[in-house]
Amino acid sequence: MTRTAFITGASSGIGRATAVALAQTGFQLILTGRRQERLEELAEQLAPTRIHLLTFDVRDRAAVDAAVASLPEEFRQIDVLINNAGGAHGLAPIQDGDPTDWDAMLDSNVKGLLNVSQAVLPGMRERQQGHIINIGSIAGHEVYANGNVYCASKAAVAALTKAMRIDLLPLNIRVAEVNPGAVETEFSQVRFKGDTERAAKVYQGYDPLKPEDIAEVIQFMVTRPANVHIAEITVFAGSQGAATLINRR
């Protein structure tokens, strides 16, 4: 039987690469994001994989619930949930922080994960089967200067993942966390408000991870047999030793 994966933030970066990897593995896909055109382009690229698109913002609980409720029968059995949507906004000391940025990070990285998980879990609970992968960050395990609220939001993801794993264990639902280090995506462009020059400097002088590197890890995790539960993986670039320790040439 074909398995179904539900991926949030699938329009770019790690989410997009994960969609490609799981399509190659034989999954049918529910791809979600805020940018309908990008989702449509990805779906066209992945043909003939069976794909259903949902456009919503994970921060909008009502929109999440409505989107999941709208799934056609052939996509209602969700085997794998990839909670990938989120991001970083701003890089400033706490005393200079922008509350709008704080809200964006907490609402997407933490509440968004909860909103989507709560909408998808009833089906997994009924079948007593499922696999949830939360995309965390090394920032959730190592706080760095000016990372304050972003680090806090990813620390919350780490705590939630552990709590979900405990709570859902009796229901035979596996829950895991993937913690990327430096991955070259649109992450820095968002963090620096579209300042492409500043964003590019983040990845200069070394070979950062690519979204496909993280996608391959996720692909491996969700294709393990039922007796294997990979609970947590941290992935660094080859030149990275800690959150802010990178050996630049």
Catalytic positions, written as ranges: 150
Q: What is the DSSP letter of 186?
A: S
Distance of alpha carbon 184 from alpha carbon 156, whole angstroms: 23
Q: What is the Cα–Cα distance from 189 to 139, expressed in whole angstroms?
A: 17
CA-atom Rg of the chain in angstroms: 17
Quick check: 207 and 238 in contact, CB under 8 A?
A: yes
Q: Classify residue 217 as exposed, middle or buried by CB count within 10 Å of its CB (0-12, 13-18, 19+).
A: buried
222, 5 Cβ separation under 8 angstroms: yes
Alpha helices (runs of H) in 169-210, residue ranges in sequence order? 187-191, 196-201
